[in-house]
C-alpha cells in the first residue's frame, strides 16, 4: 500500500539522493507522463532526471504536503536553491493503481530569487 511516508521517502531518495533505482518499485513500467518534457514510461522518467542530475544545476525538492486517497496522490513541494530559497512551487498529481504510480500531471509556479 502506498502511504504518505512511502511517497516522502521516494522523493527524498529519487530526487534528493538521486537514487534512480527506487523508481522500480513505485513507478509503473508503462507510467503515463503528461509533462511534454519527459518521455513516457518509467524509463522516460529515469532518463529525464538522469540528464537533470548530470547537469551542473543544483536540484533539491522540499515536500510541504501530501494528500492521498485510494486512487490519487497530490504532492505539494518546493524546488529550492542551495540557500534553501524557493525557486518554484510544484504540485505533482499521480493516479495510483496496483500500488504504483501509473499516471502523472504537474504544475510549476516559478519564483524570482
Number of domains in the chain: 1
CA atoms within 13 A on the CB side of 89: 5
Q: Could you give the maximum distance between any two Cα atoms of the chain, in Å?
A: 40
pTM given for the model: 0.93
- CATH of residue 55: 3.10.450.50
**pLDDT tens readout for residues 28-53:** 999 999 999 999 999 999 999 999 99
**The pLDDT of residue 112:** 61
Tens digits of per-residue pLDDT, 60-104? 999 999 999 999 999 999 999 999 999 999 999 999 999 999 999
pLDDT value of position 110: 85
Which range of residues forms the domain containing residue 102?
Answer: 4-110
Amino acid at each position: 500500500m502506498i502511504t504518505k511516508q512511502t511517497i516522502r521517502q521516494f522523493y527524498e531518495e529519487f530526487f534528493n539522493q538521486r537514487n534512480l533505482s527506487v523508481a522500480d518499485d513505485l513507478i509503473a513500467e508503462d507510467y503515463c507522463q503528461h509533462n511534454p518534457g519527459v518521455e513516457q514510461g518509467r524509463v522516460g522518467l529515469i532518463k529525464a532526471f538522469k540528464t537533470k542530475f548530470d547537469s551542473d544545476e543544483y536540484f533539491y525538492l522540499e515536500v510541504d504536503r501530501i494528500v492521498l486517497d485510494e486512487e490519487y496522490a497530490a504532492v505539494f513541494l518546493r524546488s529550492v536553491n542551495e540557500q534553501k530559497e524557493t525557486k518554484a512551487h510544484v504540485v505533482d498529481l499521480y493516479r495510483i493503481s496496483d500500488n504504483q504510480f501509473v499516471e502523472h500531471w504537474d504544475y510549476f509556479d516559478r519564483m524570482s530569487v
